């Protein structure tokens, strides 16, 4: 007798799934928290990862389900944000120059502390924190990592605007993608 595996969702056949491979969070599991998380027993980190990999192999290789890793999606979102930042700067070149490329662009009386609490920048810091919490990045200071990401995309944007005669690629998306991806690779655990 052969056994057939069928995986469905509330919408029918499951075609894609987002997964998270067990990581550092297993170390936070204690006898007192295991019941809260509905586990019968404490899990061995290695055993949990083996079972996860086995399940993913079945879903992907035997059932044809496309697998999306949550950690990769977090990093991908940051990569896309970097690309969008550069595209915005290039499409709004004059405004970008005025806002970011003049030495004395901050008017007198502006609260520098308030500038560091920018909603946009804080959103980037929060996104980096999510990557750190998920184990997508090696441990670090989310504020410092966010500054590094901003410096990268600002530097690319500024150079593309300030040195148009340089032989840049016709479509800078590939350059931006490569540099942002390389930077993110350096943050991986």
d(CA 66, CA 84): 26
Over residues 37-94, the pLDDT tens digits come to 767 777 778 888 899 999 999 999 988 999 998 888 888 888 899 999 999 999 999 9
Q: Tokens in use for 168?
A: 């840049």
Output the CA torsion sign for 100, 74, 184, 122.
positive
In angstroms, rounded to a whole number, what is the distance separating the alpha carbons of residues 25 and 45?
Answer: 9
Q: Token digits for 56?
A: 């993913």
Q: Is residue 14 over pLDDT 60? A: yes
Q: Look at residue 89 in the predicted model and tell me its pLDDT.
A: 93
**What pLDDT does 166 receive?**
93
> Residues 133-164: pLDDT tens digits?
888 888 999 999 999 999 999 999 999 999 99
In this structure, the dihedral spanned by the alpha carbons of residues 141, 79, 21 and 68, taken in order and rounded to 10 degrees, is 160
Distance in angstroms (rounded) separating the CA atoms of residues 83 and 89: 10
Residue 161: HSE in the Cβ half-sphere, 13 Å Cα cutoff: 22
* CA distances, 46 to each of 49, 115, 161 (Å): 5, 45, 50
Mean pLDDT value across residues 164-189: 87
């Amino acid at each position: 007798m052969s056994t057939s595996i069928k995986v469905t969702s509330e919408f029918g056949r499951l075609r894609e799934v987002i997964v998270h491979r067990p990581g550092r969070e297993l170390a936070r599991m204690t006898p007192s928290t295991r019941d809260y998380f509905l586990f019968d027993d404490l899990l061995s980190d290695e055993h949990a990862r083996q079972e996860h990999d086995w399940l993913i192999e079945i879903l992907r290789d035997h059932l044809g389900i496309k697998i999306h890793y949550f950690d990769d999606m977090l990093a991908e979102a940051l990569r896309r944000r970097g690309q969008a930042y550069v595209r915005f700067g290039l499409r709004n070149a004059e405004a970008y120059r005025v806002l970011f490329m003049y030495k004395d662009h901050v008017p007198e009386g502006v609260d520098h502390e308030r500038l560091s609490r920018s909603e946009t920048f804080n959103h980037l810091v929060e996104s980096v924190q999510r990557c750190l919490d998920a184990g997508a990045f090696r441990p670090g200071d989310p504020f410092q990592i966010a500054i590094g990401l901003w410096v990268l995309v600002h530097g690319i944007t500024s150079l593309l605007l300030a040195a148009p005669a340089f032989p840049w690629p016709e479509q800078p998306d590939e350059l931006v993608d490569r540099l942002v991806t390389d930077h993110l690779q350096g943050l991986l655990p």
